[in-house]
Amino acid sequence: MTITKESATGIKPFLKWAGGKTQLLPAIEAKVLKLLRAKETIHFVEPFVGSGAVLFFMLRKYGRHIGKATINDVNPVLAGCYRTIKYNPQELINVLGALEKQYFTYTSEDDRRAFFLEKRIEFNGLDGDVVQKSALLLFLNKTCFNGLYRVNSKGHFNVPFGKYANPTICNAPVILANSEALQKVEILNTDFSEMERLIAPHTFFYLDPPYKPISATSSFNAYAKEGFGDADQERLKTFCDKANNGGAYFVQSNSDNSNADEGSGFFQNLYKGYNIEQVKAKRAINAKGSGRGAVFELLISNDAVLQ
């Protein structure tokens, strides 16, 4: 099946995810246009895909320039969910649709919370049934507090109930349109460093790692129980150097720590010699209400490879 204009509009993130990049899209698009002036067809690679705001934007708007795409996330449930959408969309819709139907048979908040907690226990104990696990991930994502994905030290999802009046739990048109779009996308589940083998002059890496917290308490980055610390940020810099030396183009978003008490100028020092732009963004998901509002983020890239 080819992507028609109508179905292309349904190509968009199917999950809410902390650090979703919708707000940075105009700045990222400017980089993409620069790249497409230099190269007709690219291999799009997203090593930290999350909910895939940039992936789906690229597939929707620049799909004809993407010869091939590869996405990766260290979170196995997330990677399993992408694979389920790619290979078993109808089965997923059936299971998720049944969960949605049952959820809406409960009218009181207490009953809905009890059902949510029951499904959260089922999700944490489930191993092996990827379609069921993916359906539960989507169900919990749409009904939990702020659409967060957070795990405890045992790797158990522990976000509380979200109290939404009328959440869309099973969005079949989006699942089907994404399934079609994902047919040319390879889905991996490993550490970002494994993407080194994809470095080539036509490769475009969009890198969106868990951000370095602006202060010790400001931010949340427990997407995975392993976390992502300064040593990982430095490993990512080594990855970027290799990509640059191999002629690949990379664009990385990260937090702007230039006004932070600690770690001030961390990325400016680490990425000396690369392009660093400050971009205004509003954080939609933050553990503390006080953390909402305009903040700056950084876009780091190696535009020199395009000249």
- Residues found near ligand SAM in the complex (CB under 6 A): 17, 19-21, 47-48, 50-54, 72-75, 191-192, 208-210, 223-224, 228
* Contacts of 255 by beta carbon, 8 Å cutoff, 6+ apart: 211, 212, 213, 214, 219, 267, 295, 297, 298
Q: How far is the CB of 295 from ligand SAM (least distance, A)?
A: 14
Q: By C-beta, is 58 or 130 nearer to ligand SAM?
A: 58
Q: By C-beta, is 10 or 210 nearer to ligand SAM?
A: 210
- Helices and strands (H and E) in the chain: how many: 10, 7
Q: How far is the CB of 153 from ligand SAM (least distance, A)?
A: 16
Q: How far is the CB of 93 from ligand SAM (least distance, A)?
A: 22
Please report the DSSP string for 141-189 in residue order.
HHHBGGG---B-TTS-B-PPB---SS-----HHHHHHHHHHGGGEEEE-
Assigned token pair, 150? 């957070």
Give CA torsion, residues 40, 41, 46, 51, to 10 deg: 90
Assigned token pair, 144? 């939990």
What is the Cα–Cα distance from 285 to 150, expressed in whole angstroms?
A: 12
Q: How far is the CB of 113 from ligand SAM (least distance, A)?
A: 26
Q: By C-beta, is 52 or 263 nearer to ligand SAM?
A: 52
Q: By C-beta, is 139 or 228 nearer to ligand SAM?
A: 228
Q: By C-beta, is 54 or 187 nearer to ligand SAM?
A: 54
Q: By C-beta, is 74 or 276 nearer to ligand SAM?
A: 74
Q: How far is the CB of 17 from ligand SAM (least distance, A)?
A: 4
Assigned token pair, 276? 């660093």
What is the Cα–Cα distance from 86 to 133, expressed in whole angstroms?
A: 15
Q: How far is the CB of 195 from ligand SAM (least distance, A)?
A: 9
